[in-house]
Amino acid sequence: MPHITLCSDGGTAGKFSTQVEKTFDPDISVRALAVALSNVERFEDRRANDMTGNDVWRGKVTIVTGGSSGIGRATAAELATRGAHVLITGRSADKLMAIAETSEKIELLQIDSADRSSGAQIVDAALSRWGRIDLIVNNSGAGHPLPVDAYDTDIISNMSAVNIIAPSQLVQAGKVALTQSKGAIVNIGTAVSRGAAPMLAHYAATKAALEHLTTSWAVELAGDGIRVNAIAPGPVKTGALTGMMGLTKEMAQQIEDQEAAQVPLGRRGVTADIVPWILRLGSSENEWLTGQILTVDGGWSLRS
């Protein structure tokens, strides 16, 4: 029998090479050969995108809530660098403006995620500006250290509003647009919910609820072609301890030192440890990945 090898090589020594090998008799159809060649070309295109990031995000429309600081800010900046249009939301006009001024790809919407109409307003703003939505990153979060004796219904209600209700409303409002684009949702949870969390119980519980919503939405929205995944970051330097959590600088530093000592990989995380995974889960390249919760914490949640 004749033997044919179809080979595509990047041409640089030491880099990837792809070989598709087919053994067939002389009667093989031209169509079968064309399919094999097409598969090789498709793999090469995907490989190039994976290696360089070129064009995967170019022209895509993304929403990043809580995009004025920390992981949200870093995610928005990276998406814009890769050519995506980004709508960031947050409460501080000054912080939002500071990041929006760094790229013409970034637009801002000053809004509190706890506002019951925030979801519809965010989606309307993105659609009015760009006419589509490809990715929603539910990054905004609320937390506050609360010992049992200091439980406050207003604080607990706010955490529930921001960490559970706001993402739910945004997903509801964006469902049609995401269905049209076969888009994705990436929720930001926390590795704190991996174990008992004294004084942070309601923060951990509301983020655990968001993870449950992630898996439920993944199943419910799969028929619409929408993929839903989540990242659960560990201790990351974002300013959240003095910002969202309201701790003093001294208390925050003490906690940072303690957490760093607990991480098996020897340090607290930085936003650059988290952002690539958000983009990976949100990318259209991941056609068959949904309902997953990825913990990125340097092994912190495995501490004894």
What is the per-residue DSSP string for 99-131?
A: HHTT-TTEEEEE--TTSTTHHHHHHHHHHHHHS
Instruction: Please say if the pLDDT value at position 45 is more than 80.
Output: no
Residue 271's pLDDT is 97
Single-letter code of the amino acid located at 148: V
Pairing of strands 106-110, 227-233: unpaired
| Nearest Cα residue to 174 out of 228, 215, 216, 219 | 228
Per-residue pLDDT band for 257 (boundaries 50, 70, 90) equals confident
Greater pLDDT, 26 or 60: 60
Residue 4's pLDDT is 37
pTM for the full model? 0.82
Mean pLDDT on 256-283: 94
Mean pLDDT on 280-288: 95
Instruction: Please say if the pLDDT value at position 35 is more than 70.
Output: no
Residue 231's pLDDT is 98
| Nearest Cα residue to 64 out of 102, 99, 94, 93 | 99
Greater pLDDT, 141 or 3: 141
Mean pLDDT on 121-149: 97
Instruction: Please say if the pLDDT value at position 99 is more than 50.
Output: yes
Residue 256's pLDDT is 85
Q: How far apart are CA 174 and CA 185, in angstroms?
A: 10
The region that residue 239 occupies, defined by phi over 0 for left and psi between -120 and 50 for alpha, beta otherwise, is left
Q: How buried is residue 125: exposed, middle or buried, by Cβ count under 10 Å (0-12/13-18/19+)?
A: middle
85, 99, 159, 203: the catalytic one is: 203
Q: How far apart are CA 34 and CA 19, in angstroms?
A: 15
Question: Number of C-alpha atoms within 13 angstroms, CB side, residue 6?
Answer: 17
Look at the domain 61-302 and name its fold. Answer: Rossmann fold (3.40.50)
Mean pLDDT on 263-283: 97
Report how far apart, in Å, the C-alpha atoms of 245 and of each of 2, 129, 142, 236, 239 are.
69, 33, 8, 14, 9
Per-residue pLDDT band for 252 (boundaries 50, 70, 90) equals confident
Question: What is the average pLDDT score of the chain?
Answer: 87
Q: How far apart are CA 89 and CA 109, in angstroms?
A: 5
CA dihedral 265, 266, 271, 276 (to 10 degrees): -20
Greater pLDDT, 295 or 37: 295
Per-residue pLDDT band for 2 (boundaries 50, 70, 90) equals very low
Per-residue pLDDT band for 30 (boundaries 50, 70, 90) equals low
Q: How far apart are CA 98 and CA 120, in angstroms?
A: 25
Instruction: Please say if the pLDDT value at position 83 is more than 50.
Output: yes
Digit-coded pLDDT (tens) for 137-190: 999 999 999 999 999 999 999 999 999 999 999 999 999 999 999 999 999 999
Is residue 151 flagged as an active site residue?
no
Pairing of strands 17-23, 3-9: antiparallel
| Nearest Cα residue to 297 out of 280, 275, 273, 277 | 273
Residue 31's pLDDT is 58
What is the residue-wise DSSP string for 222-254?
GGGT-EEEEEEE-SB-SSTTTTTS---HHHHHH
Digit-coded pLDDT (tens) for 198-248: 999 999 999 999 999 999 999 999 999 999 999 999 999 888 777 777 778
Digit-coded pLDDT (tens) for 52-77: 456 899 999 999 999 999 999 999 99
Which residues of the chain form CATH 3.40.50.720?
61-302
